[in-house]
Amino acid sequence: MNKLFIVLLLIISVLLMVFIFVKKISASKNTPTLVCLGNSLTAGYGADIPGVDNREKSYPAYLQNRITIPVVNAGVSGNTTAQGLSRIRKDVLSKNPQIVIIELGGNDLLQGIPLSTTQNNLQKIISLINNGNRKIYLAKFYSKAMAKTMLAMLQITDYDEQTALIEQYDAMFNTLAAVNNVELIEDIWNGLSEKYMSDNMHPNAEGYKIMAENYFSILKPYFRENNMLK
C-alpha cells in the first residue's frame, strides 16, 4: 500500500511538472516580442573585440533595457538579404513578433549583388512578416558618409558615381517603405564619430549605445502608445 501511494505521488509530481512546463512554453509562445532581423550591425559585431560578435552590447540588448517585452536578436554577421529571407520563419515568425526591425542590405552592396535583387528580397521579407497587425520598421544600413566608405572599399571613388548609387539605394528604401506602409529609420549612424567605431563599418560598445538611442527615438512613440516602456 505504501509503495503504491509513493508511486502515485511520483506520477502526480511528474504530471504536475509536465503541466507547468507546457504552460510555460505556451505562455512564451503567446508573449509578443520585438524581433531585430539583421546582420553584423544587429549582432553587435566589434562591440568589444574587433571581428567578434557581442550580443550583450548590441543595439537590441540596449533596447531590452528600455522596454518590457522580450527583444529577440536575430542578427547574423555577414548575412545578405537572401540569407535573412531564408531565416524568416525560424528566426522571426516563430517568435510571435509584434514589432520587427529589418536591418539588411549592407552585405548585398559589399558583395556586388544587384540592387533589384536586394529590393526583391526585402519586399519578400516584409510581405512574409506583414500580417496586418505587426509594426514593421525598415532601417537604412548606411548614412551618406558610411555609404561612401563602403563604396570606396569597392574602389568606387568617383563622386558622381557614388552619389548616383546612394540615390538609387535611397529610392529603394523610400519605395519599400511607401508601398508597404512601414516606417523607415533614416539614420542609425547619427552621432557616431570615429571614436565610437571599432573599425570603419562597425561601432564599438559606446557606439552601439548611440545606435540604440537612434533606434529608440524612432520606436519610442509606439512603445509609449502600447505601454511597453519601463
Spatial contact of 205 and 57, defined as CB atoms under 8 Å apart: yes
pLDDT, average across residues 146-155 = 95
**pLDDT at res. 107:** 98
Angle at 74 between CA 68 and CA 79, to 5 degrees: 155
Using the predicted structure, report yes or no on whether residue 198 has a pLDDT greater than 80. yes
**pLDDT at res. 111:** 97
Spatial contact of 206 and 197, defined as CB atoms under 8 Å apart: no
Scan for cell 553584423, then name that residue: 40
Amino acid residing at 167: E
Give CA separation, 121 vs 34, 55, 175, in Å: 21, 25, 14
The string of pLDDT tens digits covering residues 15-42 is 666 555 544 444 445 899 999 999 999 9
DSSP state of 73: E
Amino acid residing at 176: L
Helix H or strand E segment including 72 = strand 71-75
Using the predicted structure, report yes or no on whether residue 116 has a pLDDT greater than 70. yes
**pLDDT at res. 106:** 98
Cell of 134: 505587426
pTM exceeds 0.75 for this model: yes
**pLDDT at res. 27:** 43
CA distance 183 to 190: 17
**pLDDT at res. 50:** 83
